[in-house]
Structure 1
Amino acid sequence: MIALSDGNEVAVAWVDSASGSIAARLGTFGQPFTSAAATFASGGSAPSVDMTPTGRTAVIWGANPGPSLHTALREAGGSAFTETAPITSDLYWWYGNVAVTPVLFDGAGDAIAAWGAAGSREGFSVLDVTGPELRAVNVPGSATAGTAVGGFSVATFDTFSAVGTPHWDFGDGAGADGGSVSHTYNNAGTYTIKVTATDAVGNATSATRSIAVGAAVTPPATTPPGVKPPPVAKTPAKCKVPKLTGLTYAQAKAKLTSAHCKVGKTTKPKGRKTTKNLVVKAQSRKAGTSTTSGAKVDITMKVKPKPKHKKAKKH
């Protein structure tokens, strides 16, 4: 049997006629073999050989006496074959040998072989060397420090071996196990997340994603139950001096009060004891000026002028 890689590497396997052992040899297509042949003590039926495009090589044969099924594997770029543990149960003998179909590699580099099984059945074995597929890896694009964020999820698939629980490394020293998990980051920053799935024979596959974590949001201060919040300081109003001239004392006082001012010293005409029939003649503070709340404005009163009557025109 003969097999080729994409790099013109060639592998051959045969039964050594002198010793009855199984032999295999590696070389370059079109060139003489220069390496020594690898021989395996157990002899038997004609071997099958296959090689991946990158040079990974497997040889399988049925051993005699037995019955037992044997496999030897050479990794890509390696120089030697390693024989695996033989399969010794549920084998079908055909004229003194185990009936074996050709060994084949799948596109991922897993070796697959089939043989006749007892009871007119078929058996097969797989040499699983590839990690699980990671499908639909989901990681949230952003998070806030101090707040739990979910949405970390992954689906796994493996053709030949059972897959264990995925493991998450969140990039901040913390981790978690599960197909769907959540995490809380303590500090802001950009973190690289790594999720890894491992199958039953130890093959692992990983994928990485990144997440941007923003600074924590400081909640507004709250007042404990039963405690009154401190009073809100009010900005004191200013006294904006209004125009008072021509107003009665009562009118002037009301206007000053609404403007956050007060009536100061009141000067009346000589001989007047009350402000009746008097109006403001002058004020100590100019109208429109602003001063502190409660400022006093002195006023000078005068007798309210009598209204002038228009004389009738003579015709």
Structure 2
Amino acid sequence: MDDPLETSELLAFSKTVEARSLSRAAAELGVPRATISRRLARLEERLGVRLLRRTTRSLALTDAGEALYRHARIVLDAVHHAEASVRKADGAVRGELRVSVPPMMDTSFNAMICDFGRRYPEVRLHVHSTTQYVDLQRGGYDVALRASSALEPGLVARTLARMPLLAVASPAYLEARGTPRTRRDLRSHRCMMGFARGELPQTHWPSSGGKFQVEGALFTNDLLLLCDAALQGLGIALLPQQIVRPHLESGALRHVLPGAIQADSHIAVVYAEREFMPPQLRAFIDAVMAWGGENLLPRADAPKPKRAAKSGLRPRSISPGGPRRASG
């Protein structure tokens, strides 16, 4: 029987996939670039397949590489957890933690991160801010904050808050273009849209009965830009109540179509379901849940974890109107 694949080769391969660069992978592992190249070459030779398509500027996974990467992450995570379970039993929280967050986090979240760093100085914390809907397992992240509780199989989500979504516009815009009374009226209005999963321009807004198509005049994944554009009279934007509340109270914005659009924006902390949860991940999740309970309004009314169905199907795109159960 053939000997099992070497962990060093799998690690070189996985790091290269995640870093998308041999040089960056070598830097993260603290080895020469030539070492990474040799390990990848040995791995491909041993398996008899091409795993990566390499050019001078990019790396791309082959179908075989895609399959190997999924299994390699499981193996490497298991090795890491086995090591962590016996390395030190002194109760200290230590190790590496990779976190993905949206770019719209406020000063209270930053203060929570700083407090976490002071409480657990032996944790190497990586906080990556992105509008992209990251793949935790493929991207090598331990935990993510998402404006949704939709799940891929094998993930757990804990809801931090649910905030109503409101369609808003400035008084000047409504005076010039008229106030829409029905969803059909939006055809003659400038609607300002976000991006589904941070990637594709939205084509629909949510309603109590599902969703309806909307023609967008401005697209951005920056909610503050959408709010500013509405304040400047550029059109109608659909935004979380927490963002627009002070502008509604001051009269700078008005709520339109209150009966036609009834949906919530969900904020959830998402992590991989696993039998052994590293102490640093558990401590961080506890810190995030405490932060959410104190700083997000309204408070979450269903903080219990939920698990995605065990299926091989891919999740569908989500809208700001809240999660849709992944069935494909």
Classify the TM-score, shorter chain.
Answer: under 0.3
**Bigger radius of gyration, 1 or 2?**
1
Structure number with greater CO (CA < 8 Å, separation at least 6) is: 2
Q: Higher helix proportion, which one?
A: 2
